[in-house]
Structure 1
């Protein structure tokens, strides 16, 4: 059976009702999660930088803020990045300059999204590196600092 879905609104994917069967799928369907992420970008709630744009954005003076824990950071990180683990970010906001633009990264994107939201709510100009360190290091095949 083939079902065709016609989407007339940007918010259709997050609201799409998908049958849930625990042995075969997750409670949070990837289709809905993609819809939420796209909606956040369309509504300006989140602003992303793609892996191929990172170098140019850093050359423009933005600072890369890595919110992974110290052990992850020591296994490999971006050159000249600043490491403040997500768990410590709120208590270390005074270390950051409100006039500086930041790009946040973690391992896969979840923690950097949370960091982006926290920083935005505190008045910072910040973007999230889409796919984070994991995607960047895989696609570029670059040896990042250890």
Structure 2
């Protein structure tokens, strides 16, 4: 049986939540070169390849909205964190379909 993430959010819905001023816990699991090209302001960056070593940096009491380029790696990250007891939400479609502003550090 395939693993099912309990929650998902579209980029459009996430953008709306941000416009409403909601306090959100965002995690971008793309690689550093992708992050440098632009990311959502306020997101934390932990590449998927480092997630199992660094997941302790996240607060298990807070819901984490996870994103990547297309929604595939973030889905895997959701599965990994869900198994560790984290509350996770996958941003479906990823940054490929994000229409909001991106920032560069």
Instruction: Settle same-fold status: TM greater than 0.5.
Output: yes
- Match of 1:88, SS state, is helix
The count of residues paired between Structure 1 and Structure 2 equals 100
Structure 1: unaligned runs, 5 residues or longer: 1-35
Task: Give the Å deviation of 1:57.
Answer: 4.0
Larger RCO: 1 or 2 (CA < 8 Å, sep 6+):
2
Q: Which residue of 1 aligns with 2:29?
A: 67
Q: CA deviation at 1:52?
A: 1.6
TM-score, L = length of structure 1: 0.63
Provide the C-alpha distance between the structure 1 equivalents of 2:9 and 2:93, rounded to a whole number of angstroms: 9
- Which structure has the larger Rg over C-alpha atoms? 1
Within the alignment, does 1:53 sit opposite 2:28 as a pair?
no
Higher helix share: 1
Moved beyond 6 Å, runs of 4+: none
In structure 2, runs of 5+ residues without a counterpart are none
